[in-house]
Amino acid sequence: MLSRTADQLYWMARYVERAENIARILDVSYRMSLMPGDSSEGDSIWASAVQIGGNWNEFNGRYGTINRHNVIHYLALDEDNPSSIFTCVHGARENARALRGSITTEMWESLNATWIELRDIDVEGLAHASYQDFFDWVKERSHLFQGVIDGTLLRDESYHFIRLGGSIERADNTARLLDGKYHVLLPRIEDVGGVLDYYQWGAVLRSVSAFRSYHRIYRNVIMPDRVAELLILRADMPRSLHACFDHITETLDELCGLRMYECRRLAGEVHARMHFGRMSSIFESGLHEFLTEFLESHGQFAVQMQRDFLMIT
Amino acid sequence: MSIWGGPVGLGMRRLIFDEMTCSDGGARLAYRQISEWLKWSTLERLRQSATEAEVLFRRLGITFVVYGDEDGTERLIPFDIIPRVFSAAEWKRLSDGTIQRVRALNMFLHDVYHGQNVIRAGIVPDDLILANAQYQPQMQGLDVRGGTYTHVAGIDIVRVKEDEIYVLEDNLRSPSGVAYMLENRQVMMRLFPELFSEMRVAPVDHYPDVLLRTLRDVAPPGADEPTVVLLTPGASNSAYYEHAFLADEMGIELVEGADLFVADGAVFMRTTEGPKRVDVIYRRIDDDFIDPLAFRRDSMLGVPGLLSVYRAGRVTIANAMGTGVADDKSVYPYVPEMVRFYLGEEPILQNVPTYVLRNADDLAYALEHLDELVVKEVHGSGGYGMLVGPASTKAERQAFRAKILDNPSNYVAQPTLALSTCPTLVEQGIAPRHVDLRPYVLSGETITVMPGGLTRVALNEGSLVVNSSQGGGTKDTWVLEE
C-alpha cells in the first residue's frame, strides 16, 4: 500500500477519534460546571478543558476570557483551532475524500453527512439548543463511523491503519483527560471519598462511558485511585491505556508480519508497563509523573510508527 | 476538445446529415433496430429508462463520481439513452484512419526529436516546431521504447455527410473522457439487454486491460514484471475520478508526485513496506509539471529528478514528454502531409479545411469571409479566444479583425461545419441533436482502436456546442460487428 494512503487512513481515524474525545472533554467539563462551587472553580474547570484539548496560548491570544461560551466555541467550532471538533471532522472528511477508492461507500457517506450537518451549526445556535445534545451527537456520529468500519471494511492493511490511528489517538486522549482532571481535583484531595469526589470523578467516569463499569467492577464508592486504575490498567475497559495498547500491539503484529520494526519494540515497552504495572507503585511515584512519562513515550512511539510505515522523515 | 460555436444558420439546417434517418424518412441500416425500438417505445417508457440510467450512474459511479468541494454532491454529465451506432464498414474506415494518423504522428514526433527530416523536406516550417512552446528540447536525441511517443491518443472526429468525415483535433498529451465510454456502456447493458442481444455490439469493457498491456509493453528493457503506476495531479483535478477509476480497474497504484522519489538513478514509490521500484508512469499531468528540477520550479505535482531517470531509459513515461508539438493547432494543417511523407499513403481521414493565416492568401480569404468562418488561436483550447463567424455581431468581427491583423500567425480559420445529428431524448421528445466523437487509440507493441469512444451531444436545439459546461451530454457509441 502507498504510504500516503496509509497516512490518510491513519489520520482520518485519528481525527474522528479526536473529535469524539473533544466532545467528551467538553461534556465532562460541562457536567462539572453544573456542580455547586464558586465561580473561580467553574473557571478552572473550563481552563483545564483548554489545557487538555487545545492550546493555552492560542486560546488566550484570541479569546482572553475563560468562560463556558468561549471554551465551547474554541474547542467545538473554531475553524482556526487545529484540534476543534470542526477542524477534526473537516480533516477526517478531506482525508476520506482523497481515499474514496480505499474505503467503503458507507464510510464516506457517514463522514460526509456528519460534515454537512456540522458545517451549519453555529455557536449561538448551539447555546440556544443544548450543549449536551451536541456533544452526544458528535459521539454518536463517531460511533456510527466506527460501526460502519467494522461492518463494511475488508480486514486488510487499510483496516489495520485505521485501527492504529483510532487506538493511538484514544490512548493519548485518555491520558490527557485523566491528567487534566487530576490537576483540577488535586486541591480537594483531602475530601477523598467525599460527596464532591463522587460527582467530580463521577463526571470523569461518565465522560469515558465508564460510570456503570466502575460500579460493576468495584461495587464501591468512587475513589480517585480506582478511577485511575480503571482508566490505566484495566484491559477490559475499552478506553483504558492498557486496552489501547492491546489493540496497538495486536495491530502492529498484523502489519509487521515477520519484520521487526523499532516502533513495535517501543509499543511493546509501553504495553509491558500497562500489562505488568501496579497501581500502588504508580501512585507512589506520582500519577501526574506517570502520565507525563506515558504521553512522552507514546508520542515517541507514534512518531516512530510514522517513520517505519508511512515513510515520513 | 474544441468547441463548435453558435447555432447553424437556417440555410444550413436542410443540409444537416442525420445518422439515423435518411432524407426519404427511412432508417439507415445500422440504425434499423434502434429505429424500431424508438417506434415501439412510448415516450413515458423512455423517460423512465432515462431516470433509471441516472440512478445507475450515481450507483455505479460511487467510486469515481466527482464530488463538489463544498457539500459533496455528485456532478453528473447528462447522459442520453439513445445510442449512436456505426456499421462495421463505417467503423473500419474510422479505425483504419485513426490508426494511420497516430502512426504518422508518432513517426513525426520521433523525427522532430531526431533528424528533423520533415523540416528539411519542407513539409512543416521549422519555426512551427522549434519555436513552439510544446517543443521539449530535453527530448532531442532521446530514444523512447519502440519509437512510441503517444501511447494513448484521442482523435476528435466530426461527420458532415454519409462519407464526409473530418478529424477536428488530435489529442496526444493526456486525453480524458474514456471513463465515460466505459461507464455509459455498463449502464446501457443494464438498461437495454434486449437491444444488445438483437444487435452485435462490439465490447469496450476490456479497455483497462488493453491499456495495462500497452503500458507494460513499453516498460524499460529488463523489467520482467514491470510496476506500472498512474500519476495524478490529485483529488482537486477535474478528471480525478477517471484517474481513480482507471487505476482501480487496472489494479495499479494511483500516485501523486509526493509518493514518488528518485534515488540511485531509479524511480521509487513510498509504500508501507518501504520503497518500491517503478518502471512505467502513466501520467495524467502536463509536461511542465512533471519534474520541478527540469521544468517548472514551482511545480508541487511532479517528481524532482524524474527527467534524468527518464533520459537514462530507466523509467517509461506515457505519454512521452513533448508530444504537444504534434497536436498543436498550428501543426494540425500539416498532418495529412505527414501521412504521405512518413507512410507513403493517402490519408484515409481528412482534416477540416484550414486557412493558416500566416499565409497571405489564406489571410486575405479569411478576412473577406469572417462571417462564415470559425477563427481559432493556434495555441488556444477550450474555446477561448475564438470567433464563431455565423454567430458573431459586426462589432465582434471588427474587433477580431484587428486582433488578427495584429498577429496573423496566431490564428487559423475553418468553415463552420454542419455536424451530423443523432436522435436524442430531450424535453420535447425525440429530436435530432449534433454530435462529435472521440475514439481512443492505444499504441504499444501493437496499435489498437477501441471499437467505440466518447460521443458528445449538444442537447440544446441547433447548438453545435458539445462541451458539458455548455449544455453538452454524452451517448454510448455502438460499433456493430459484421
Can you tell me the mean pLDDT for A49-74?
A: 90
Rounded Cα distance, B285 and B287, in Å: 7
Smallest Cα–Cα separation from B308: which of B286, B287, B293?
Answer: B293
Is the Cβ pair B244, A310 closer than 8 Å?
Answer: no
**Within 13 A of B246's CA, how many CA atoms are on the CB side?**
25
Question: Counting every residue, how long is chain A?
Answer: 313
Hey, are the CB atoms on A100 and B63 less than 8 Å from each other? Answer: yes
* Average pLDDT score over residue span A173-189: 73
Confidence of residue B425 (pLDDT cuts 50, 70, 90): very high
Q: Which residues in chain A have Cβ-Cβ distances shorter than 8 Å to B234?
A: 98
Shortest alpha-carbon distance between residue B267 and chain A (Å): 14
d(C-alpha B409, C-alpha B88), whole Å: 41
> Contact A100/B253, CB-based, under 8 Å?
no
Q: How much is the average pLDDT of B431-456?
A: 95
* pLDDT-above-90 percentage for chain A: 56
Q: Taking a contact as any Cβ pair under 8 Å apart, which residues of chain B between 54 and 73 contact chain A?
A: 62-64, 67, 71-72
Q: Do B72 and A310 touch (CB under 8 A)?
A: no
Instruction: Compare all CA atoms of chain A with the CA of B62 and give the residue at the minimum distance.
Output: A105
Answer whether A99 touches B (CB < 8 Å).
no
Render the burial of A238-250: b for 16+ CB within 10 Å, e for the rest. ebbbbbbbbbbbe
pLDDT at A38: 63
pLDDT class of B5 with cuts at 50, 70, 90:
very low
> Which pairs count as long-range contacts for A52-56, CB under 8 Å and 24+ apart, including other chains?
A52/A25, A52/A176, A52/A177, A52/A179, A52/A180, A52/A181, A53/A21, A53/A22, A53/A25, A53/A26, A53/A83, A53/A176, A54/A81, A54/A83, A54/A84, A55/A81
> Which of B72, B248, B253 lies closest to A116 in CB terms?
B72
B161: exposed, middle or buried (C-beta count within 10 Å: 0-12, 13-18, 19+)?
exposed
Band the pLDDT of A296: cuts 50, 70, 90: very high
pLDDT > 90: what percent of chain B?
A: 68
Q: What residue ranges define each of the domains in chain B, with the CATH number in brackets?
A: 10-220+315-352+418-479 (no CATH), 221-314 (3.40.50.11290), 356-415 (3.30.1490.270)
Q: How confident is the model over B234-259, as pLDDT tens digits?
A: 877 878 888 988 998 898 999 999 99
The SS3 call for residue B351 is strand
Q: Which of A263, A311, A313 to mutate to test the interface with B (most CBs of B within 10 A)?
A: A311
> Residue B66 pLDDT > 50, yes or no?
no
What does residue B141 show for φ and ψ, rounded to 5 degrees? 80, 0
Q: How confident is the model at residue A28 (pLDDT cuts 50, 70, 90)?
A: confident
Mean pLDDT lowest for which of B147-161, B374-388, B451-465?
Answer: B374-388
pLDDT at B59: 67
Do B269 and A2 count as a contact with CB atoms less than 8 A apart?
A: yes
Cα atoms found within 13 Å of the Cα of residue A49, Cβ hemisphere only: 33
How far apart are the CA of A70 and the nearest CA of chain B, in angstroms?
Answer: 27
Element (DSSP H or E) covering residue B106: helix B88-112
pTM recorded for the entire structure: 0.82
Find chain A residues with C-beta within 8 A of B275's C-beta: 311
Strand partners, B472: B458
- Using a CB–CB cutoff of 8 Å, tell me whether B256 touches chain A: yes
Using CB atoms, which residue from A105, A115, A309 is nearest to B272? A309
How close, in Å, is residue A37 to chain B by CA atoms? 44
Q: How much is the average pLDDT of B335-340?
A: 96
Distance (Å) from the alpha carbon of A245 to chain B's nearest alpha carbon:
21
Distance from CA of A178 to the nearest CA of B (A): 33
C-alpha cell at B467: 462541451
Tell me, yes or no, if B269 comes closer than 8 A to chain A by beta carbon: yes
Share of chain B above pLDDT 70, in %: 91
What residue in B sits closest to A93 (Cα-Cα)?
B72
Q: What is the predicted pLDDT for the residue at B384? A: 63
* CA nearest to B316, candidates B285, B341, B283, B279: B279
**Inter-chain touch A310–B253, beta carbons under 8 Å:** no
Cell of B287: 509536461
| B230 touching chain A per CB within 8 A | no
Q: Give the mean pLDDT of chain B.
A: 88
- Eight-class DSSP state of A77: I
Tens digits of residue pLDDT in B256-271? 999 999 999 999 999 9
Q: What is the mean pLDDT of residues A287-299?
A: 94
Q: pLDDT at residue B4 above 50? A: no
> Do B417 and B160 touch, CB atoms closer than 8 A?
yes
Contacts of B63 in chain A (CB under 8 A): 100-101, 105
DSSP string, B404-472: HHH-GGGEEEEEPP---EEEEEETTEEEEEEEEEE-EEEESSSEEE-S--EEEEE-STT-----GGGTE
Find, in chain A, the residue whose alpha carbon is nearest to that of B67.
Answer: A97
- Model pLDDT, residue A183: 65
Q: Is B6 left (phi over 0), alpha (psi -120 to 50) or beta?
A: left
To the nearest whole Å, the CA of A294 is away from the closest chain B CA by: 26
- Check residues A204 and A21 and name the one with the higher pLDDT: A21
Could you say which of B244, B256, B270 has the minimum Cβ distance to residue A100? B244
Helix (H, G, I), strand (E, B) or coil at A53: helix
pLDDT band of B383, cuts 50, 70, 90? low
Q: What local confidence, expressed as pLDDT, does residue B416 receive?
A: 87
Whether the predicted pLDDT of B2 surpasses 60: no
Taking contacts as CB-CB distances below 8 angstroms, the residues of chain A near B72 are 97, 112, 115-116
Under an 8 A CB cutoff, do A2 and B244 touch?
A: no
Which chain B residues are within 8 Å of A100, Cβ to Cβ? 63-64, 67, 244
**Pairing outcome for strands B280-283 and B316-318:** parallel
Residue B290 DSSP code: S
**CA separation for the pair B154, B147 (Å, rounded):** 19
- Are the Cβ atoms of B72 and A309 closer than 8 angstroms? no
What is the pLDDT at residue A187? 47
* Among candidates B62, B234, B270 on the partner chain, residue whose Cβ is nearest the Cβ of A311: B270
**What pLDDT, on the 0 to 100 scale, is given for residue A312?**
66
Query: Is the predicted pLDDT of residue B17 greater than 60, yes or no?
Result: yes
> For residue B312, how many other CB atoms are within 10 A of its CB?
12
Q: Which residue has the cell 511515584?
A: A285
**Which pLDDT does position A185 carry in this prediction?**
55
Among B residues 346-385, those touching chain A with beta carbons less than 8 Å apart: none
What the block records as the C-alpha cell of B73 is 454532491
The answer to whether A103 faces chain B, any CB pair under 8 Å, is no
Asked if B253 and A2 come within 8 Å (Cβ–Cβ), the reply is yes
Q: Tell me which of A185-189, A220-224, B341-345, B348-352 is least confident.
A: A185-189
Nearest CB among A2, A101, A311 relative to B244 is that of: A101
Residue of A nearest to B229 (CA): A2
Cell numbers for B239, please give them: 478528471
- The nearest CA of chain B is from the CA of A101 a distance in Å of 6
Give the per-residue pLDDT at A98.
82
Distance from CA of B252 to the nearest CA of A (A): 10
From the list B71, B244, B271, which residue is nearest A2 (CB)? B271
For residue range A126-148, list pLDDT tens digits in order. 877 789 899 999 999 999 999 99
CA distance A123 to chain B (A): 20
Q: Give me the pLDDT at residue B60, please.
A: 63
Coil, strand or helix: which one is B239? coil
Q: Residues B290-315: what's their mean pLDDT?
A: 84
CB contact under 8 A, A311 and B275: yes
A303 touches chain B (CB under 8 A): no
A31-70 in b/e form (b: 16+ CB < 10 A) is: bbbeeeeeeeebbbbbbbbbbbbbeeeebeeebeebebeb
Residue B86 neighbours by CB distance under 10 Å: 26
> What is the dihedral angle through the alpha carbons of A145, A149, A152, A158, rounded to the nearest 10 degrees?
140
d(C-alpha B394, C-alpha B245), whole Å? 47
**Amino acid B380: pLDDT:** 63
Q: Is the pLDDT of residue A206 over 90?
A: no
Res B382: pLDDT: 54
Tell me how far apart the alpha carbons of residues A293 and A278 are, in angstroms, rounded to a whole number: 16
pLDDT for the residue B68: 45
pLDDT at B8 over 60: no
Question: Residue A274: which residues within 8 A CB-CB, separation 6 or more?
Answer: A232, A233, A235, A240, A241, A242, A245
CA distance B425 to B43: 9
Q: What is the dihedral of CA A216, A217, A223, A226, to 10 degrees?
A: -150
How high is the mean pLDDT of chain A? 88
Contacts for A3 with CB less than 8 Å, ≥ 6 apart: A309, A310, A311, A312, B259, B270, B271, B272
Name, of A223-227, B169-173, B287-291, the range with top average pLDDT. Answer: B169-173
Domain boundaries, given as residue ranges, for chain A:
1-153, 154-313
- The minimum CA-CA distance between B474 and chain A, rounded to whole Å, is 25
Q: What is the pLDDT of residues B105-150, one digit of tens each?
A: 999 999 999 999 999 999 999 988 998 889 999 899 999 999 999 9
Choice among A29-43, A132-146, B111-125, B323-337 with the minimum mean pLDDT: A29-43
Distance from CA of A100 to the nearest CA of B (A): 6
Indicate if the pLDDT at residue B306 is higher than 80: yes
User: CA A236 to CA A233: how far, in whole Å?
Assistant: 9
* Residues in Cβ contact with B70 at an 8 Å cutoff, skipping those fewer than 6 apart: none
Range scoring the smallest mean pLDDT among A110-119, A178-187, B51-60, B334-343: A178-187
> How do beta strands B165-171 and B152-159 pair?
antiparallel
For the cut 80, the answer to whether the pLDDT of residue A268 exceeds it is yes
